[in-house]
Structures are given as structure tokens and as C-alpha cells.
Amino acid sequence: MTSEVTKAPYPFQRIAVAVAFSPRVEAILAESKRLQDLFKAEMIFIHVGEKNLQQEQYLKHLLHRFGLDAPANQLLWEVGDPVEVIIDKCKELEVDLVVAGALEKESLLKYFLGSVARKLSRRAKCSVLMLREPDILSKPVKRIVVEGSDHPKTVNTVDVAVYVAKQTHADDVTIVQESDVSKMALIRSDVFSDEESEEHKEKIFEDENKRLDDILKCADCGTLKVNVERIDGKPGYVITQYAREQKADLLVLNSPDTKLNLIDRVFPHDIEYALADLPCDLLIVHSRVQELSE
């Protein structure tokens, strides 16, 4: 296991957008324009496929139409496996955020095989924004739900959520602490008396609250309204359900620790609950402070 320090996870100065000639291409570009303006970012549009004069002209026309043809922006036509190409380009160009459109739900087969957006979210070495319902018309980001799990990456994820909330002028950010029921079950056996179980549980909650308080003290929240919610249940699943119930506009999660594979879909990784059925737009924050090499 090696670790290397790279760029900080934010600000989003360089944003890559995966472009395909799908019915949603105009909506994706409209969203890109808003991201460019909100984050004052350079935009890199990546299309993977054989270059075709007609398509190239059409894409340039769209970029011009949405005000995305600034000199600093780039349009890349590449060939190869879309996911591999996009990941390589993001790494090469030190992209901070890669954006892709994604369907709310995919067929079971496609879910297990993986679409481009979902594969990116599982493997990218930078943050990934999956747009569930990209729209030509502007939609304000009002409510952001962010993961508050007991993980070293959470501090960066909360920081990024606060940063995004400020840039998008969101109304509030809710940090969700998921109490893993299976771990709690282990301290409820006859080895512990009821009082001991409660004591241990309280201690765990206290530690988690303290850790979150420390994270929030460091986060530059300013006047932003930040709430904390504790929910019992399976990590990944409960936060996805919560985001859906609260009609959140953006769900922010830690990136997976390792590249996810088929096993992580059969025995779901926490993040797979959100990927299986997107509750809203999904931002997966890659901390980039430590990088695993397996």
C-alpha cells in the first residue's frame, strides 16, 4: 500500500464532461455551462468515438450555442474504451471533477455490466458528478445530503459538500450519520448486560458526534445551515433513502476505497445502493490525499 499526496479535492478548477450524441446531449451541455459559471472552471469535453465531420460541426455548434466555446475550454475526440479513455484523460489533465449523465435506474443486466457513468463512478481517480435528470432550464440546488460516516475520507467529503453548497447557494446541507445495525447487533448479545450494551452504544455515538463536530469546526461553513441526522440502518442504503425522502437535489458520498467490481454489486458496496437507483444527482468525492495501489 502506497500513499501519495496529489491535488486537493476542491476547488473544481478543471471539469471534464463526458459527451455522447444521446437525446440528452443538449441538457448535459446546458448543465455544463452552469457548472462553468458557478465554479469558474475550465471545461474539457471528451467524446469517445471515430471523428466525424458532421458530428464535430454539430458539437461545436452546440458548444457555441451554450457559451462553452471559451478559448480555455477543450474539445477532445478520442477512440477506445470510453471509460478507460475518460479516466486516462482526467488523470493526464489533472481534472478535478468529471461529469456524466446517468439514468435513474438501469435494467438488472445493465446494472451488473455497468454503464459508462456508473463505471466512471466506480473507478475514476477524481470526483464524479452523475446528473440524473440534466435539464436545459436551470434548477436551483436547494438541499444537499452528505455522508457523515466514520471514515478518514469524510472530512474531505464534507468540505467539498460545503464548498459546493456555497457555490450553488444551497439552502442547507444535511450530514447523515449511519449507525450500522449489524455492528450494533454484535454488542447486544448475552455477553453484554443491557446497561453495558447501552453504555457501549452511547460511547460509539459520542465518539462519532465528536468526530463530526471536529470536522464541522474545520469546515468553512460561514452562514450555511448545516444539520446532522443519525439514522439506523445499512450504510449506503439509508442515506440513499433519506435523500429520496427529503427530495434532495444532490447527494454527496465518499469515493470507494478500491476499484469496485462485480463482487461489489453482488454483495453491495455502500455506494452501490445509490448507483442502483439514483435518488437525485450524485457527487462522489475523491479525496485524492491518499491513493491506493493494490
Partner 1 sequence: MTHDQLIYLFLCLSVMLLSGRLLGEFFRKLRMPLVVGELVAGIILGPTILGHYYPYLTEHIFTTKGNIGLVLQGITSMSVVMLLFAAGMEVELAIIRQQGKTALKASFVGLIIPLVLGFFVGREFYHWFGENNSGNILVFSLFMGTAMAISALPIIARTLMDLNLFKTKIGMIIIAAAMLDDLVGWILFSVVLGMMNTGVGSWGFLYTLGFTVLFTLLMLTGGRFIINKFLPWAKRKLSWPGGILAISLGFAFLGAAFTEKIGIHAIFGAFIVGIAFGDSVHLNEKTRDIIHQFITNIFAPLFFVSIGFKINFVANFDLSITLVVIVLAIVSKLLGAGLGALWGGLKLKEAMAVGFGMNARGAMEIVLGLLALQAGVISEQLFVAIVIMAVVTSVMAGPMLQYLITGEMKVGVSLKEINPLSTDD
- Secondary structure letter of residue 151 according to DSSP: S
> With respect to partner 1, which residue has the nearer C-beta, 249 or 270?
270
Residue that is written with C-alpha cell 452528505 in the block: 146
CA distance 96 to 67: 21
E-assigned strand segments in 26-180: 42-48, 74-78, 97-101, 127-131, 143-147, 172-180
How many H helices and E strands in the chain?
A: 11, 10
> With respect to partner 1, which residue has the nearer C-beta, 3 or 138?
3
* 290 binds partner 1, rule: CB under 8 A: yes
| Positions in 14-33 near partner 1 (CB under 8 A) | none
- Letters for 78-117 (x = contact with partner 1 by CB under 8 A, - = none) are ----------------------------------------
* 181 binds partner 1, rule: CB under 8 A: yes
Tell me the window of 4-12, 22-30, 158-166, 267-275 that interacts with partner 1 (CB under 8 A). Answer: 267-275
| Positions in 233-262 near partner 1 (CB under 8 A) | 233-235, 237-238, 257-258
The Cα-based distances of 7 to 13, 130, 255 in angstroms read 11, 21, 15
* 5 binds partner 1, rule: CB under 8 A: no
* 54 binds partner 1, rule: CB under 8 A: no
- Assess contact for 19 and 49: CB atoms under 8 A: no
* 277 binds partner 1, rule: CB under 8 A: no
